[in-house]
């Protein structure tokens, strides 16, 4: 499966500039948006105005030193909600903190949102920029760059191969007796959000953007 989904070309087409919005799609003064229910109205407005994509953030905790929690809602639940309230705009994560999530759960939820949105999902992944969150998850902060790479490798394996084999260092092993369903119709677009502590050569050749 090498064909990228049409939504990828809509957002990242050659020789064109597109504009997207990142959640909560409006400013707010406190550490959480005042009115969470306006997110659907703002999403529809952005779509009608011609924006190419809506991006939601993955902020598990409120850290007073950072001060904001993005849209204040779980990113994948939010995208499921937005997929039902929009029709053509791309929906992406900017980005899921790969080292703090199981790649299996990421793959399953990513394909689910892609299916429910009729192929409009872009999987943005990050390595996380808030060290205080790692102890809460029992995750190793120092190895996050390596875990980031392995997570993408496993997600691609799960979404593109039938009954796959995989040997993990930080995550589990697959021995060909299990399969992840459903499979996406096209290659699931993966976007590296920021450098994620990776070499430029890897960034240029492994993620799709």
* pLDDT digit string, tens, across residues 149-203: 999 999 999 999 999 999 999 999 999 999 999 999 999 999 999 988 899 999 9
Domain formed by 6-205, architecture:
Alpha-Beta Barrel (3.20)
* pLDDT digit string, tens, across residues 33-84: 666 678 899 999 999 999 999 999 999 998 888 878 888 899 999 999 999 9
Q: Looking at residue 33, what is its pLDDT?
A: 67
Q: Looking at residue 4, what is its pLDDT?
A: 79
Q: What is the mean pLDDT of the chain?
A: 92
Does the pLDDT of residue 143 top 70, yes or no? yes
Does the pLDDT of residue 31 top 80, yes or no? no
From the number of C-beta atoms within 10 Å of its C-beta (0-12, 13-18, 19+), residue 138 rates as exposed
**Which among 28, 30, 52 is positioned nearest to 39, based on CA atoms?**
28
* pLDDT digit string, tens, across residues 78-127: 999 999 999 999 999 999 999 999 999 999 999 999 999 999 999 999 99
Element (H, E) at 149: helix 144-160
SS3 104: helix
Q: Looking at residue 34, what is its pLDDT?
A: 63
Q: Looking at residue 74, what is its pLDDT?
A: 95
pTM confidence score: 0.93
Beta bridge partners of 20: 53
Q: Looking at residue 1, what is its pLDDT?
A: 58
* pLDDT digit string, tens, across residues 188-203: 999 999 988 899 999 9
Both tokens of residue 107? 């793959």
Both tokens of residue 187? 């290659």
């Amino acid at each position: 499966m090498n064909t990228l989904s049409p939504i990828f070309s809509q957002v990242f087409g050659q020789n064109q500039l597109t504009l997207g919005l990142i959640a909560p799609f409006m400013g707010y003064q406190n550490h959480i948006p005042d009115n969470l229910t306006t997110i659907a109205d703002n999403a529809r407005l952005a779509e009608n105005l011609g924006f190419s994509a809506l991006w939601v953030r993955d902020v598990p905790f409120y850290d007073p030193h950072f001060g904001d929690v993005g849209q204040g809602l779980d990113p994948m639940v939010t995208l499921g909600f937005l997929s039902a309230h929009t029709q053509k705009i791309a929906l992406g994560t900017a980005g899921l903190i790969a080292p703090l999530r199981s790649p299996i759960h990421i793959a399953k939820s990513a394909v689910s949102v892609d299916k429910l949105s009729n192929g409009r999902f872009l999987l943005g992944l990050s390595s996380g920029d808030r060290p205080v969150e790692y102890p809460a998850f029992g995750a190793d902060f120092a190895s996050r760059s390596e875990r980031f790479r392995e997570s993408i490798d496993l997600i691609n394996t799960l979404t593109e191969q039938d009954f796959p084999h995989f040997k993990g260092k930080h995550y589990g092993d697959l021995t060909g007796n299990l399969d992840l369903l459903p499979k996406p119709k096209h290659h699931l677009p993966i976007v590296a959000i920021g450098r994620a502590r990776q070499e430029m050569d890897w960034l240029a050749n492994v993620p799709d953007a």
